[in-house]
Amino acid sequence: EFQRDRDRIIHTTAFRRLEYKTQVFENNEGDYYRTRLTHTLEVTQIGRTIARALAANEDLVEAICLAHDLGHPPFGHTGERILNHLISHHGGFDHNKQSLRIVTEIESRYPNFKGLNLTWEVREGMVKHETEYDISDAKSYNPDLRAHIEAQIANAADELAYNAHDLDDGLRSGILQPNHLNELTLWQLAKSSINWDGKELTELTRHRMIRRMIGLQIHQLITHTNNQIKNIQVSSPIDIQKLEFNLVEQSHDYKNYNDEINNLLRSKLFTHPRVSNMEKTAKTILGKLFTTFIKNPDKLPITIQANINELGIQRAVCDYIAGMTDRFAKSEYNQIINI
């Protein structure tokens, strides 16, 4: 069943659109920066690796990883904040909730049911996805229980992937310089591990360093989790969900190492004009699209107009905009301002 879920997720329109949705850099910044799609595939690979080592269900982890970012709007987390503000009086916008709505309502591909009819375990794993940037809101999915172990693996894989890969893209862009990373403990551990003298960061060395940083974190995560499993002696999956902490997690030291990375990314990468200017662009484009479609619902596609009575005009418009890729949102905006 989880393999079927995976297949259904991959064949959705929402999954294909991830190719043209921003991770950190806009799609038109260059062909080599990560998009939501490449990030999703990297998270999935890491998730399967961890799942195999922990004897968890690889197919379930894979399905959750593939679906975890389906609800992201154009322009990344910036777009999410803007949409949330625009629809704040009508339920707000959260990409985790939107991911769940996509697989339960919005994707219409089968005659006998709405959505994709995914298993409970995949849907619960999606709605309980929680990292530094994602806050779980699982009111209808056993809110008193933690995420099951496969969902915890997906969470860990996501956090591990975006930290290392944002560093990689930052270095590739030239915004981050090697000397910025010298203050990172994990960077120093990786440097020592591959015997790099630190003098010249060639493209090959950059690949080796990022790969080693990921490898160190995966190995430590697996080791720490296995130690916790032995110490706690859980006897069933439900016991894992009743714990007061996540079973799948980094050690205290490695959490601190990741905090160092997060602080560096915030101070040096995410606030750089090449990245932060996207917020101005996104605010202009998404704001104009939202107000235009609210005032002129006849400009919406027929399929979206059909949902207005059920959802309300604000939610229907929000769904439409959230499903756009970056370039389609820009195209729609250009058409509107040129009328």
**Residues 318-337: pLDDT tens digits?**
999 999 999 999 999 999 88
What stretches of 296-325 show up as alpha helix (H) in DSSP?
Answer: 302-305, 308-311, 313-322
Cβ within 8 Å of residue 315, ≥6 positions away: 87, 90, 91
Q: What is the pTM of this model?
A: 0.92
DSSP-assigned states of every residue in 125-166: HHHT--BTTB----TTS-TTSPPPHHHHHHHHHHHHHHHHHH
Cβ within 8 Å of residue 234, ≥6 positions away: 240, 243, 247
Among residues 231, 242, 50, the alpha carbon closest in space to that of 154 is found at 50
Sequence spans of domains, the chain: 2-275, 276-337
The residue type at 311? L
Contact status, residue 213 vs residue 186, Cβ threshold 8 Å:
yes
Q: What is the pLDDT of residue 276?
A: 81
CA–CA gap between residue 249 and residue 157 (Å, rounded): 10
**Residue 129 above 90 pLDDT?**
no
What stretches of the chain show up as alpha helix (H) in DSSP?
Answer: 2-10, 13-17, 36-53, 58-67, 76-86, 95-101, 120-127, 149-173, 178-181, 185-193, 203-232, 237-241, 252-264, 273-295, 302-305, 308-311, 313-322, 326-337
Q: What is the pLDDT of residue 134?
A: 43
pLDDT digits 0-9 by tens, 153-202: 999 999 999 888 889 988 988 999 999 999 999 999 999 999 999 889 99
Q: Of the spans 28-42, 232-246, 308-322, which averages the highest pLDDT?
A: 308-322
Among residues 228, 186, 70, the alpha carbon closest in space to that of 134 is found at 70
Distance (Å) of CA 318 to CA 116, 195, 278, 305: 21, 51, 19, 12
Superfamily of domain 2-275: Hypothetical protein af1432 (1.10.3210.10)
Identify the weakest region by mean pLDDT among 41-50, 266-275, 301-310.
266-275
Contact status, residue 40 vs residue 18, Cβ threshold 8 Å:
yes
Residue 189 CA, chain-centre distance (Å), reads 26
Q: What is the pLDDT of residue 26?
A: 61
